[in-house]
Structure 1
C-alpha cells in the first residue's frame, strides 16, 4: 500500500476503528429470477429504487427464446428508467477441451453479446472457466482452453460496446486470488468481483478488502452475495455471515463507484428489497 493509499484508508475509518463506506457510490440491482415476468418486475424494480436488473440468458430468458422480444424489453427498461446488466449462460463451457464444443460455446456467448447490446446493456458478465474432466486434462491444459475462448470473447465484447466483466468463481483455476493473472493477460477486460465466491475460495473479508483496494481500477461490477459458509447460497446481503463493512472497505478506500448486483436465489420481492435496504444502510442512503 502506498502512503496515499494509507492516508485515504485512514480517512475512511470511523471513530470506533471501523470502515466508513460513505464514499462507496453503488448503483444497486438484483438478479431477475427465471420465474419473474420481465415487464412487471422491471416496473417493481423502479418503484423500489433499484438502478438496474441483471438478466441471466438461460431458461425462459435463454437468448433464442427472447431474441424477438428485445425491442419490447428495452422499451420496458427505458420507460421505467431501469438499466440492465446481462449475465451470459454459465452452463455454456468456453473452456471445453473439445474444439467443436468450445467453438460452439464462443459462438453462443458472442450471440448473447449481440442480444445484450440490443437490450441496452453496457456490462456483460461471464465465467472464465472450464468444465473439463480433471482426471483427463491437466490444469495447464484447461487454462489454455479458457484462454483460447477469451482471446475471442474479450474482443467481441469490446466490439459490441460492452465491458467484459469476467467473474471469479469457486470451481475454477481463476478464483479471486489468481485473478490478477487474468487481468494482466487481458488488459481490455474487467472483473466481476463476487463476494461469496471469494469467501468460499479462501479469501476472508480482510483479504477481499485488500484485493479490491489494489485492483479497484480493474473491477467493473460487483456481485454482492451473502452466505452462511460452506456453500454458495446466494443470500441477500445481511442474511449470511459475510462482514460486508470490512469486505467493501477496500473499494471505499479507493473511491470506487459502479454497479452492484444482489445475486440472490430468491424471487420473493420483500426479501430482495430487504437486501437492498441492508446495502443502503451500509453505504448510507443516496
Structure 2
C-alpha cells in the first residue's frame, strides 16, 4: 500500500471488463484509496443488475468502511443527449435517468455527463445542439436534486463543447446555477488547451478534476509520465482557486494496479500532496 494513494480518488474504468465495481473498490481501498468514481458498464455496475436491497447494501457498506462514492461515470461515446434524432436523445435520457436514480440510491455525490456529440462531417447548427443540451439538463438536474445527487458536465474532445470556455458558456446559459463542471486535464491538453487556464476558467463551478496523461497526437488516458501533460503547474492552480477535493485518477491501462499506483507516486514527485 502506498500512503500517497489516499490523496487521490480513483476511477474504475480499467476494471470494467474485470468484474464488479464492488470488487474493484474493495481491492482499491485495500491499497489506500478512499474515494471513487464508478463506471457504469454491464457486469461492472448497471442499474438493472442492482436491485433495491443491493443498493441499500452498497450504501451501507461504503459508509461503514469510510469510503466516498464521488461520482458515477459512463462510456459517453455510446450516448448522445444532443443527437439529431429524437429517438437517440430519448434513449440516452432514459439511461441517464436510471443512472441518476442509482447514484442517489448508493450515495454517489454526482453523475458525470457528456454534453453530446456533433456529426464530424456535417454538424447541426451549434445553437440547436446547445438547445438539446439544455433540454436534457432541464430534465436531469431536477431529477438529480430529488434523489440527493447532482449533475456534473465534463469537457470531452469528442463532444461538441470540447474546451473550457465554450463548455462554461453553455453551462452558464442554462437555467441551472448549481450545475457543476468536471475538468479533465488530459482532455484539455489533447485539444491544445492549457489545462491550468481551463481550470481557472471553470473555478466557480469546478466539482471534479480528472487526471491522466496523453499526447496531443493520440488521445489517451495513460499513466502519468507516458504523455506530454505538464502536471507541475496544476497543484498551484488548484490551491489558488481553493479547490480542495481529491483529484480523480482516470487511468486506462491493461495493468491498472501498477499504472494507478505509479501515477500517484509520480504526481507526488511533481508537487501533488
TM-score by length of 2: 0.84
* 1:229 alignment partner, SS class: coil
1:31-56 Cα offsets, whole Å, 9 max, x none, are 25211433332222222221222111
> Is the partner of 1:172 in helix, strand or coil?
coil
Gaps of 5+ in 1: 1-24
What is the deviation of 1:234?
A: 0.9
Residue aligned with 2:215, SS: coil
Larger relative contact order (Cα-Cα within 8 Å, sequence gap ≥ 6): 1
Task: Show CA shifts across 1:165-223 (max 9, x none).
Answer: 1000012221123122023123221100001111111203xxx2133224312100011
Q: CA deviation at 1:66?
A: 3.1
Q: How many residues align?
A: 258
Map residues 27-176 of structure 1 onto 2, 5 A cutoff: 27-32=8-13, 33-34=15-16, 35-60=18-43, 61-67=45-51, 69-84=54-69, 85-90=71-76, 91-132=78-119, 134-135=121-122, 137-176=124-163
Counterpart of 1:8? Answer: none
Cα separation, partners in 2 of 1:217 and 1:282, compared to 1, 3 Å: farther
Q: Distance in 2 between matches of 1:210 and 1:233?
A: 21
Counterpart-to-counterpart distance in 2, 1:234 and 1:101: 27
- What is the CA–CA distance in structure 2 between the aligned matches of 1:230 and 1:59, rounded to whole Å? 31
Residues 103-252 of structure 1 mapped to structure 2, 5 A cutoff: 103-132=90-119, 134-135=121-122, 137-176=124-163, 177-186=165-174, 187-204=177-194, 208-252=195-239
Render the CA deviation track for 1:246-268: whole Å, top value 9, x for unaligned: 24432222221114211111253
Does the aligned pair in 2 maintain the 1:94–1:128 contact within 8 Å? yes
Distance in 2, matches of 1:156 and 1:89, equals: 21
Q: Distance in 2 between matches of 1:148 and 1:134?
A: 24
1:244 is paired with a residue whose SS is coil
Residue 280 of structure 1, CA deviation: 3.3
* Residues 226 and 235 in structure 1, CA contact (< 8 A), matched pair in contact too: yes
Per-residue Cα deviation, 1:141-166 (whole angstroms, up to 9, x for no partner): 22322222122222222222223110
Q: For 1:278 and 1:76, locate their aligned partners in 2 and report how far apart those are by CA, in whole Å.
A: 31
Contact 1:67 1:115 in 2 (8 A): no
Measured in 2, the distance between the counterparts of 1:239 and 1:133 equals: 28
Change (3 A) 1:142 1:217: closer
- Alignment RMSD (CA, Å): 2.4
CA contact (8 A) 1:45 1:82 kept: no
For 1:236 and 1:52, the matched residues in 2 are separated by 19
Q: Distance in 2 between matches of 1:47 and 1:246?
A: 30
CA 1:98–1:117: 2 relative to 1, 3 Å: same
Larger radius of gyration: 1
Query: What residue ranges of structure 2 are gaps of 5+ in the alignment?
Result: 1-5
